[in-house]
Amino acid sequence: MCGIVGYIGVKPVKKILIDGLRELEYRGYDSAGIAVLQEGSFSLFKAVGKLIHLEEKAHDYESSGFAIGIGHTRWATHGKPTELNAHPHMGANSYVVHNGIIENYQELKAMLIHEGANFVSQTDTEVIVHLFEHYLKNTPTPFDAFKQTLAKLEGAYAILLITGSASDTIFFAKNGSPMIIGKNSDNETFFGSSDAALIGKCTEVIYLEDGQYGYASGEVIHLYNGESHDVTLRFTPLSGNKLSAQKEGFRFFMEKEIYEQSHVLADTLMGRLRDEQIHFEELESGLFEGINEIKLCACGTSYHAALTASYLFQRHAAIRTSVEIASEFRYREPYLTSDTLFIVISQSGETADTLESLKMAKRHGLKTMVICNVDNSSMVRLADASILTRAGIEKGVASTKAFATQVCVLWMLSLYLGEIRKTLEATEIRRQIGLLRTLPSTVTVDSNMHEQLRRLSKRYLHGHGFFFIGRDVFFPLALEGALKLKEISYLHAEGYPSGEMKHGPIALADPELFTIALLPQHKLYDKTKSNVEELSARDSTICSISPLDFDKADDHIRTKQLDDYMLEFFEMMVVLQLLSMEIAIRLGNDVDMPRNLAKSVTVE
Ligand code: AGP
């Protein structure tokens, strides 16, 4: 979610680092910073907000001759977006930048404070540099200290570390977060968390694998794997096209973001799952005291996540739950009581209607919470409590990975509440935590499935409309499927509860009416199947999505046999996203920037 760069060479290091960070800024812009080591002395610059602020701060600094430097642009996970929390983090004589989350940072921090370390930030990252200096006191070389540091870290990381004890060297490590090393014919060495930062500077790169670490001294790179074995350096050529590098080989950002869901869900879950407990470090223990009702409020895709959550909150936590479309809520003079927790859901944290609804709830004295993807957004600053979804920046206007992470957080929150309210047995919480752990693999895109959807898409380019239908949480998923399709294909689509079709919409049924039917094995299968049969009997064209055979379907998309309806929900979500995208691509539309839409809707 953050961006990392590093450089060893004789060119002006500030410009190289800041140019690299500019390519990564879309990943996070809560703060940015660089640290340069030249002739034994450090220069450090940090600034809150966009990179331009860092450039202003470092305006008068220039290096000449050999130097090493590291830089970072931050998407806050631990600690507010302040200058103290900005990377690089410093020890007495060393600096570190880091992507990922150090899960055991609290115990390491306690140990280091006991040993006399002085912490200045609220981040998990700062433990790395203090741990390194702790080991450096009693180890023969900085590299030994670095290895001992890595051995103590739990969680995901990509790390660059520089120290006054080795003034021509950058130490690096990768475990779960990306890290690339680049070279060019001038024998300069570059580091980046994405190749977008290296394009135009390097001709060849090494994409590090998890568990690899090492150091680069001057022109020489030493690379090791988990067992301290020397790894042969295998460089691959680097393409020269920046936009395609950012898309990482995918045709559209939307496609990349659908494929990324496995990784971002792993980030969303990170540090939040215990064996029998959900852990939200960011929530105060008293938040739910005196709360008897939950009101969820959002727009668009986030509203569909809220609707999904309303089933889970009532089912798992036995709490009265209602859902509001923010643009309606604002003006309908709602009756609000102080025992209600008001939860807004927003990818951007800036949507005008949702933000105003949040302000309204606060004016009525309600406790408020936001589930959001952007840490320093207006909603996060305003709400009493916030949970970050950690989806990373979503570039496609049609929301995909943001929705996946919202539903994941809301599912976890329903279990968290179920435990507090003692409405779920420990065994059931344990079972569902087991399911949550499988989410990253559940949403991994199966290439055969993607190919089937690509081929199928050619049959759905016309007609007079689509009905996406489902029951229970598959109704909000049907709404989301229909929204995805209309946003990017410009075809008319509606989401409907499957049991409602007979109350009117079934009058539209004919071969040119396409029904996309969500038929999960583990939630109301027979009931939904009957509804789809009613449509099939009236000659609607049926595309069923189910792990079970369905002989009344014209097309059938077979999903995996999974253990629970929530896993089926996430797999079907991916199917609907890909199907919409493939239809839109065949229609020749700009999938990432569909007509008439904007990523962040800051007007009423
Ligand atoms: C979904 O694909 C859309 N981009 C849109 O419905 C979006 O979810 C809505 O505008 C709300 O945005 P937010 O989550 O940033 O508040």
Phi-psi region of 333 (alpha: psi -120 to 50; beta: other; left: phi over 0): left
- Regarding the beta carbon of 181 and ligand 1, being less than 6 Å apart is answered no
E strands, 49-188, are 67-74, 89-90, 94-102, 155-163, 166-175, 180-183
pTM recorded for the entire structure: 0.75
CATH of the domain at 138: 3.60.20.10
Q: How far is the CA of 304 from the centre of ligand 1 (A)?
A: 10
Domain termination residue (choose one: 444, 476, 511):
444
Domain termination residue (choose one: 444, 470, 490):
444
Asked if residue 474 belongs to a domain, the reply is yes
190 and 42 share one domain: yes
407 and 526 share one domain: no
Asked if residue 247 belongs to a domain, the reply is no
What range defines the domain where residue 556 resides?
A: 446-604
357 and 492 share one domain: no
Asked if residue 333 belongs to a domain, the reply is yes
283 and 405 share one domain: yes
352 and 264 share one domain: yes
Q: Is 341 helix (H, G, I), strand (E, B) or coil?
A: strand
Q: How confident is the model at residue 523, as a pLDDT? A: 96
Q: How confident is the model at residue 199, as a pLDDT? A: 86
499 and 582 share one domain: yes
Cα 443 to its chain centre, rounded Å, is: 13
Total number of domains constituting the chain:
3
Mutate-to-test residue for ligand 1 from 324, 330, 347, 401, highest number of ligand atoms within 8 A of CB:
347
Asked if residue 245 belongs to a domain, the reply is no
Asked if residue 560 belongs to a domain, the reply is yes
CATH of the domain at 593: 3.40.50.10490
Closest CA to 290 of 239, 341, 255, 251: 341
Asked if residue 243 belongs to a domain, the reply is no
CA distance 369 to 382: 9
Q: How far is the CA of 383 from the centre of ligand 1 (A)?
A: 19
Cα-only R_g, the chain: 26
- Regarding the beta carbon of 373 and ligand 1, being less than 6 Å apart is answered no
- Regarding the beta carbon of 347 and ligand 1, being less than 6 Å apart is answered yes
Residues of the chain with pLDDT under 50: none
484: annotated active-site residue = no
Domain termination residue (choose one: 180, 214, 237):
237
- Regarding the beta carbon of 389 and ligand 1, being less than 6 Å apart is answered no
23 and 159 share one domain: yes
Q: How confident is the model at residue 604, as a pLDDT? A: 64
Asked if residue 461 belongs to a domain, the reply is yes
154 and 222 share one domain: yes
